[in-house]
Amino acid sequence: MEEKKRPDKTILVCFLLLFILFCWGSYEIYLYLTTDEKERIRQQLMVIRKGCAEGDWQAISDVLAPNFKDHLGHTGVDIRRFLMALFYQQKRTILFDYLQIDIKLAPNKKKAKVFFTASRRQRKFQKNPNPEVEGELEMIKKDGEWLILYAKYKGVEEW
């Protein structure tokens, strides 16, 4: 009597794990944007920076999604104080002169995650200062524009 060959269990388990990782990864892994998309999001963030400098809160509000919130429970109205603390002091001088932005796009190309660090330069020739503020923004694309939906950050002391 001939015995049926069963597939090795380790091979089946490996395929199952790879399948699960692939499915999970398609939702969690963010791909890098094209240069055009990255530039559009950078422009939106620069609108915020310019709005802080000029006190143009309408320009900032236009970049925030209507249902914006942050990890501390602040809504779009409260975010102004965070942005002021992040980019400018009350005298409207630049508080952080080093801003690094890393932008990644979700597979559906309708959401993006923006990771940023901001810091002061201690010395004139210092290239990589230690970040004083780190954060993450989740942005959604609506009607061709990128809007900030959610913000998570640490290091902002002045509220």
Give the whole-angstrom CA distance, residue 90 versus residue 112.
31
Q: Which amino acid is at 36?
A: D
Whether pTM > 0.75 for this model: the answer is: no
CB 102 within 8 A of CB 116: yes
**Interval 47-67: pLDDT, tens:** 766 666 666 666 667 777 777
CB 71 within 8 A of CB 154: no
**Interval 72-118: pLDDT, tens:** 666 665 555 555 555 554 444 444 555 666 667 766 677 777 776 76
Which fold, 30-154?
Nuclear Transport Factor 2; Chain: A, (3.10.450)
Provide Rg for the chain, Cα atoms.
22
Give the whole-angstrom CA distance, residue 118 versus residue 50.
16
